[in-house]
Amino acid sequence: MLSLWNEVSQKQNDIPHFHLLIDGCWKCLSSGEYQDVINPATGEVIARVPLANQQDVENAITAAYRFFQTLVFDPLERIEIMLRASDILKTSREEMAKTIVLESGKPISIALSEVDATIERLHLVLEEVRVLYGEYLPGEWVKDTRGKFAIVKRRPLGVVAAIAPFNYPLFIGAAKIIPALLAGNTVVVKPASDTPLSLILFVRILEKAGIPAGSIHVITGSGKEIGDTLVTHSLVRAISFTGSTAVGEHIARLAGMKRLHLELGGKAAALVFKDADIRTTAALLCKGAFRNSGQRCDAVSRVLVEEKVADTLLEALREESQHYFCGDPMDPKTPMGTVINEGAAKRLDALLEDAKNHGASFLAEKKRTGLFYPPHILEINTECRLAWEEIFGPILPVIRVKNEKEAIELANQSEYGLDSCVFTQDIDRAFRVAEKLHDGSITINSIPAHGVGHFPFGGNKRSGIGREGIKYSIDELTELHTIIVSLKEEK
Ligand code: NAP
Ligand code: MG
């Protein structure tokens, strides 16, 4: 068994049983029940994690609140812990990447980049948190504040509930935990049930780096069963959630007066115009649609191509797609692994079936083997579900449009508003179109890629509330605290 695994799990019937971390204790679990973690590539049970119940959630939140109130977690100490955590993560790079592969079925090359991105994020947040100063505001400029001044500080909120999805199981969870802790909050984190292991190991790394017991707690178990307790608890001040729009909207309905940071579904359109560099565009679009088997909120999820270049683009896409094929996820040369589970694969099957029934023509069509889902490219019309629904799988639908106006209209008709991208060599067109699109980020001549979060990202419409990103996540997880001073006139 891998070495970090040994520190947070125990073998029973030859299967590692992981622990939760509540109030500094790795074994406290009231229910005694576990759920399986399955390797999507082999179908094997690789580990089991605790099925936390409401009482466990309650215990974690109360302990996190108690710790927050003690206010003893010094900023310099936080920075040093994160630096040590980054060193430990570097030495555990291979083990962490293998864990991600085992639980998610993604190829090792992508898992290694995920670990590297987490290490980089740790460092970049450290730079930002040091400039968390606030403002000094003189009152002289307005009649009723004359003789006063204000100091506007940023301070932590308190207990943050961090809920992570399966697709980047380490990075997305860590990108919530790191700024939350550095800004002085305490955290209760819930990983996705399909992929809980890498985030548990990350919390273990924080603990080894010296994070005080009580500042972070990790609970595993069904979101359906324990989610409501987590998001409605009166001691939780903020919810940082990344996941589906359905669950995000459910949380928004229940949460009441809490800070909400919701990163939800996406339906990125790629608008390709007749003056685009078609060969480069096709290569980028395949990467955008098929990397991580399309299981990315920022995946290219529909191509809107000007009629005049549609045939050329389709042919170029067909050729480029040959570089994407499924293979052993542990092999460094494998470009694509599996999709996450049978439910996800069946949803993709149904989307393709629906497209067939609506007369779609397929350019690349191969059968899936288990959860190994090969890339699909197809030309569709707007009657198809694929034109509007989030795909989250390796399927690239292409729609022909007459002109710029139609492309913009179709792009903006989506209920999502996370990302889009524009391919053209005409600088006027590029900016004109980018101004008109409704998404949180518009990328010109490349595909959406949130990367380590140097640029802010987040969605409009049903794609969410708030912005992720190195500085931006800190803003989301702190509140403004204004101290106003009234100066007496000299006698
Ligand atoms: P999901 O099914 O919504 O699950 C996300 C997390 O929410 C999991 O930890 C899940 O736990 C938990 N959860 C489920 N029901 C809950 C409830 N009632 N209350 C509280 N938490 C609950 O999403 P996913 O399938 O893991 O991830 C795919 C989705 O994430 C896609 O829609 C994708 O677009 C979105 N995503 C968005 C971004 C972004 O930045 N905008 C980035 C990545 C992914 P269980 O696993 O136990 O159900
Ligand atoms: Mg799920």
Beta carbons of 244 and 264 less than 8 angstroms apart: yes
Q: 275: left (phi > 0), else alpha (psi -120 to 50), else beta? A: alpha
Q: Which residue has the higher pLDDT, 278 or 32?
A: 278
Q: How far is CA 127 from CA 117, 123, 151, 164, 301, in A?
A: 15, 7, 23, 24, 34
Q: Kindly state the average pLDDT of the residues 454-464.
A: 96
Q: How far is the CA of 165 from the centre of ligand 1 (A)?
A: 4
Of the residues 103, 114, 128, 297, only one is catalytic, namely: 297
CA distance 137 to 131: 17
- pLDDT, tens only, 277-333: 999 999 999 999 999 999 999 999 999 999 999 999 999 999 999 999 999 999 999
CA distance 97 to 84: 19
The question of whether 263 is a catalytic residue gets the answer: yes
Give pLDDT, residue 29. Answer: 79
Q: Are strands 135-138 and 148-156 parallel, antiparallel or unpaired?
A: antiparallel
The question of whether 297 is a catalytic residue gets the answer: yes
Per-residue pLDDT band at 345 (split at 50, 70, 90): very high
pTM score of the predicted model? 0.97
Beta carbons of 102 and 197 less than 8 angstroms apart: yes
- pLDDT, tens only, 170-218: 999 999 999 999 999 999 999 999 999 999 999 999 999 999 999 999 9
pLDDT at 129 over 90: no
- Pocket-forming residues, ligand 1, beta carbon under 6 Å: 163-167, 172, 190, 192-193, 222-224, 227, 231, 242-244, 247, 250-251, 263-266, 297, 390, 392, 418, 459, 464
pLDDT at 381 over 90: yes
CA distance 478 to 491: 40
What sign has the CA pseudo-torsion 199, 200, 203, 204?
Answer: negative
Task: Tell which residue, 451, 473, 463, has the closest CA to residue 252.
Answer: 463
Task: Tell which residue, 83, 81, 96, has the closest CA to residue 3.
Answer: 96
Angle between helix 245-255 and helix 223-232 axes, rounded to 10 deg = 40
Per-residue pLDDT band at 127 (split at 50, 70, 90): confident
CA distance 209 to 204: 9
Beta carbons of 313 and 302 less than 8 angstroms apart: no
Beta carbons of 210 and 35 less than 8 angstroms apart: no
CA distance 409 to 251: 30
Q: For residue 193, which atom of ligand 1 is closest to its CA?
A: 46
Mean confidence (pLDDT) of the chain? 96
Give pLDDT, residue 287. Answer: 98
Q: How far is the CA of 469 from the centre of ligand 1 (A)?
A: 19
Lowest mean pLDDT among 111-125, 129-143, 439-453: 129-143
DSSP, residue by residue, 420-459: EEEE-S-HHHHHHHHHH--SSEEEESS----TTSSS-B--
Burial class of residue 293 in the structure, from the number of CB atoms within 10 Å of its CB (0-12 exposed, 13-18 middle, 19+ buried): buried
CA distance 270 to 48: 40
- Mutation test residue for ligand 1: of 33, 38, 106, 224, the one with most atoms within 8 Å of CB: 224
Q: How far is the CA of 339 from the centre of ligand 2 (A)?
A: 12
Identity of residue 223: G
Per-residue pLDDT band at 71 (split at 50, 70, 90): low
Backbone φ and ψ for 360, nearest 5 degrees, come out as -65, 150
Beta carbons of 189 and 181 less than 8 angstroms apart: no
DSSP, residue by residue, 131-197: T---EEEESTTSGGGTTEEEEEEEEE-SEEEEE--SSSTTHHHHHHHHHHHHTT-EEEEE--SSS-H
CA distance 321 to 377: 8
- Mention every residue, 6+ apart, whose C-beta is less than 8 A from residue 131: none
Give pLDDT, residue 74. Answer: 87
SS (H, E, C) 203-218: HHHHHHCCCCECCEEE
In 246-364, DSSP assigns E strands to: 259-263, 268-272, 300-306, 361-364
Element at 240 (helix H, strand E): strand 236-242
pLDDT at 73 over 90: no
Give pLDDT, residue 470. Answer: 87
